[in-house]
């Protein structure tokens, strides 16, 4: 099976086994809802506990999941090229597992300034109180050697970054992390293992919000932490177990269903987004497009080197103030105003200017930044919608 293309493997992971009596099996793995399991006898319980203590997969209780969860863990491992996976009830919960599982009081962590916004809130709400200190840095230009302290344990990045989609040089970051004995953890929600594989580029821990492209239908919250190394896996598992997170089997099932169409959804989002870029590039109101697959993007050559595809995420810098861009956002008819992305539908986010003040990649504080998720609607309709809405800025 491992010799097959990833697209093939994604469809066949978790196929239910044949019933020995009837010789049949369901094509779609059922959602296995149960809070606990029954053991045939104490010897069976013993075997399961022994395997669990040895760090192997063994079903002993519902919280750590049943077959539906196992299949989804396999999906994440295949996507990311990892050997261990822990599921979480949201992307943010997965981020928590990584921070709290890998850091302790007195530790220091370097966090890239392009990081998903709520990570800064995790810092304020929990890490500071736990005595874990954070230094935000530009993973594009800052010298890590100058930022490392004796108690630094981890580098936490996101590539491409949230909002401006700056590509980071993951292999270079990995060699820096290695040189200083640090764990390199990255948020890979953008790539979701399908178009970008940080673990293959030297990262130690990859986090994916399955809420986005994995599920793909804006109907489930889900996260995963994927690692290669067994010792790191033990720490991640132990944190997950301690925190009591669990994922509903139905949610795991929805994510598994979403993954079956990933190979057609992702390239279509990417094609639509590039068509939108071509149109936006001709519009005088649009000063810059932030989308690494776009040939004029600053990170395009890194994207060409490290990515195998793209998606529907892009941001545009408009030749007007953030206030003046509001009528454009309100005039859009096919783009829902809202957070999140990775579902079938187009969305728009008016980026609060304050959230960009700490991004070193952002230089144009007087201009509006608008984030778009290009969905699977007809791209001609999306372009027509953007065109009529851009006209609202001119007035």
Q: Active-site residues: which are they?
A: 63, 116, 187, 212
- What gap in Å lies between CA 98 and CA 196, rounded to an integer? 20
Contact by Cβ (8 Å): 331, 392:
yes
Picking from 212, 214, 211, the residue whose alpha carbon sits closest to that of residue 194 is 214
160 binds ligand PLP (CB under 6 A): no
**240 part of the interface to ligand PLP, by CB under 6 A:** no
67-80 helix and 249-259 helix, angle to the nearest 10 degrees:
40
Does position 253 bind ligand PLP by CB under 6 A? no
Nearer to ligand PLP, 94 or 174 (CB): 94
- What pairing do the DSSP bridges indicate for beta strands 368-373 and 347-350? antiparallel
Phi, psi of 286 (to 5 degrees): -95, 110
With CB under 6 A as the contact rule, which of the stretches 127-135, 208-216, 237-245, 293-301 interacts with ligand PLP?
208-216
CB of 119 to ligand PLP, least distance (A): 8
As a three-state string, the secondary structure of 180-223 is: CCCEEEEECCCCCCCCCCHHHHCCCEEEEECCCCCCCCCCCCCE
314 sits in which H/E element: strand 313-318
Looking at 193, 198, 223, 343, which residue binds ligand PLP (CB under 6 A)?
223
Q: Which of 211, 215, 240, 346 binds ligand PLP (CB under 6 A)?
A: 211
Query: DSSP readout, 10-35?
Result: HHHTTPPPPPTTT----SSPP----S
209 binds ligand PLP (CB under 6 A): yes
Q: Closest separation between CB of residue 92 and ligand PLP, Å?
A: 3
Rounded least distance, CB 311 to ligand PLP, Å: 11
Q: In whole angstroms, how close is the CB of 99 to ligand PLP at the nearest point? A: 12
Which residue of 221, 286, 369, 379 would you call a contact of ligand PLP, by CB under 6 A? 221
Q: Among residues 210 and 322, whose Cβ is nearest to ligand PLP?
A: 210
Contacting range for ligand PLP; rule: CB under 6 A; set: 36-44, 88-96, 234-242, 328-336:
88-96
Tokens 């139905």 belong to: 250
Site string for ligand PLP, 338-377 (x = CB under 6 A): --x-------------------------------------
CA distance 240 to 87: 8
Say whether residue 162 binds ligand PLP (CB under 6 A): yes
Report the C-alpha gap between 378 and 345 in whole angstroms: 11
Q: Any contact of residue 92 with ligand PLP (CB under 6 A)?
A: yes
Least gap, CB of 244 to ligand PLP (angstroms): 17
Strand partners, 136: 111
Residue 90 touches ligand PLP, criterion: CB under 6 A: yes
Q: Which of these, 215, 235, 236, lies nearest to 225 by C-alpha position?
A: 236
x/- contact string, 102-131, with ligand PLP (CB under 6 A)? --------------x---------------
Looking at the DSSP bridge assignments, the partners of residue 372 are: 314, 348
- Minimum distance of ligand PLP from residue 2's CB (angstroms): 29
Residues 270 to 299 in contact with ligand PLP, rule: CB under 6 A: none
The residue whose Cβ lies closest to ligand PLP is 91
Cβ closer to ligand PLP: 340 or 360?
Answer: 340
Burial of residue 275 (CB within 10 Å: 0-12, 13-18, 19+) is middle
CA dist 293 and 18 (Å) reads 44
Q: Does 216 sit near ligand PLP (CB under 6 A)?
A: no
Q: Of the ranges 89-97, 127-135, 326-334, 371-379, which one interacts with ligand PLP (CB under 6 A)?
A: 89-97
155/176 Cα distance (integer angstroms): 10
**CA quadruple 322, 280, 192, 66: dihedral, nearest 10:** 80
* Residue span binding ligand PLP (CB under 6 A) among the ranges 74-82, 145-153, 204-212, 262-270: 204-212
Longest dimension (CA), the chain: 77
Query: Interface with ligand PLP includes 91 (CB under 6 A)?
Result: yes
Contacts of 138 (CB under 8 A, 6+ apart): 112, 113, 360, 361
Binding site for ligand PLP (CB under 6 A): 90-92, 116, 158, 162, 187, 189, 209, 211-212, 221, 223, 340
């Amino acid at each position: 099976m491992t010799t097959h293309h990833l697209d093939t493997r994604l469809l066949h992971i978790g196929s239910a086994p044949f019933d020995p009596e009837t010789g049949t099996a369901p094509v779609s793995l059922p959602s296995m809802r149960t809070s606990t399991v029954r053991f045939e006898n104490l010897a069976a319980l013993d075997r399961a506990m022994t395997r669990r203590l040895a760090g192997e997969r063994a079903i002993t209780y519902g919280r750590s999941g049943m077959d539906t969860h196992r299949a989804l863990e396999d999906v994440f491992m295949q996507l990311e090229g990892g050997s261990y996976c822990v599921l979480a009830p949201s992307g943010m919960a997965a981020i928590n597992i990584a921070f709290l599982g890998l850091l302790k009081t007195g530790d220091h962590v370097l966090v890239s300034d392009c990081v998903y916004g709520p990570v800064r809130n995790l810092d304020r709400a929990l890490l500071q109180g736990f005595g874990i200190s954070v230094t935000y840095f530009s993973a594009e230009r800052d010298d890590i050697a100058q930022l490392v302290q004796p108690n630094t344990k981890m580098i936490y990045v996101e590539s491409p970054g949230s909002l401006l989609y700056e590509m980071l040089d993951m292999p270079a970051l990995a060699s820096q992390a290695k040189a200083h004995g640090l764990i390199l953890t990255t948020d890979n929600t953008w790539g979701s293992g399908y178009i970008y594989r940080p673990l293959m580029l030297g990262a130690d821990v990859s986090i994916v919000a399955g809420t986005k492209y994995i599920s793909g239908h804006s109907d489930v919250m889900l996260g995963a932490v994927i690692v290669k190394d067994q010792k790191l896996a033990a720490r991640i598992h132990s944190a997950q177990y301690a925190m009591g997170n669990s994922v509903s089997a139905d949610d795991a099932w929805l994510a598994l269903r979403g993954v079956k169409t990933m190979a057609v959804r992702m390239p279509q989002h990417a094609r639509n987004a590039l068509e939108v870029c071509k149109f936006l590039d001709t519009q005088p109101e649009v000063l810059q497009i932030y989308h690494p697959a776009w040939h004029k993007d600053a990170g395009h050559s890194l994207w060409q080197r490290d990515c195998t595809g793209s998606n529907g995420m892009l941001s545009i810098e408009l030749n007007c103030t953030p206030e003046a861009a509001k009528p454009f956002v309100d005039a859009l008819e096919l783009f829902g105003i809202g957070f999140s992305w990775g579902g079938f539908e187009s969305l728009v986010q008016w980026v609060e200017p304050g959230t960009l003040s700490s991004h070193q990649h952002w230089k144009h504080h007087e201009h509006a930044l608008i984030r778009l998720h290009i969905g699977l609607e007809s791209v001609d309709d999306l372009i027509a919608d953007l065109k009529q809405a851009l006209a609202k800025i001119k007035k």
